Structure 1
Amino acid sequence: MKVNVQSVNFKADQQLVDFIQKKLDKLENFYSKVVYADVYLKVQKTSEKENKITEILLSIPGDDLIVKKTCKKFEECVDESVKSLQRQLIKKKEKQKVVS
């Protein structure tokens, strides 16, 4: 799967990009028709500790799934986002089985 990582107001290091790629590649186990994923990483300028925002747009035929999470670390956000996308993909796959 092609993963586009865009970081706003900072430069994402290669280790973080590799982590994101590895996590998103696991989604193909749940739904094989994933076209690509756009990942937006942002740092919010606030006094709160949870200032990292991760937004993932997953493109699948006929639909786009979007998840947005705010956490203390980008890794934590990516983990939560991938779990949420897994649930959505499983639901979508089950609906397709019912229709077929």
Structure 2
Amino acid sequence: MEVNAQSVNFVADQKLLDFIKNRMNKLNIFYDKVISSDVYLKVENTSAKENKIVEIKINVPRDKFMVKKQCKSFEEAVDSACHSLERQLKKKKEKLRAHA
């Protein structure tokens, strides 16, 4: 799967980008027809601790999934977003099996 990661208003280090790619590649376990994914990393300018925002868009044949999470760290936000995507991909796969 192709993973495009973009950071807004800051430069993401290689360790974070590698973590994102590894975590996104695990989604192939749940649904093997994932074409590509776009990951947007943003830092909100607030005094709140939970100011890291991750948006993930996943492209699958004839569909798209979008998840947005806000947490204390990017790793936590990516993990949380991937859990949501796993549930959505499982649902999609079950629907396809029901129609087959």
What TM-score results when the alignment is normalised by the length of structure 1? 0.99
Which residue is 1:34 aligned to? Answer: 34
Establish whether residue 44 from structure 1 lines up as the match of residue 44 from structure 2: yes
Which runs of 5 or more residues in structure 2 are unaligned?
Answer: none
Q: Which amino acid aligns with 2:12?
A: A
Aligned residues: 100
Give, in angstroms, the shift of residue 83 of structure 1.
0.4
Match of 1:13 in 2: 13
What is residue 86 of structure 1 aligned with on the other side? 86
Q: Secondary structure at the match of 1:39?
A: strand
Cα deviation per residue 1:15-41 (whole Å; 9 max; x = unaligned)?
A: 000000000000001100000000000
Query: Equivalent pairs: percent with the same residue?
Result: 58
For 1:98 and 1:42, how far apart are their aligned partners in 2? 38
1:41-87 residue CA offsets vs partner (Å, 9 max, x unmatched) = 00000010000000000000000000000000000000000000000
Q: Which runs of 4+ in 1 moved over 2 A?
A: none
1:96 matched residue in structure 2: 96
What is the aligned-residue RMSD (CA, Å)? 0.3
Long gaps (5+) in structure 1: none
Aligned to 2:70: 70
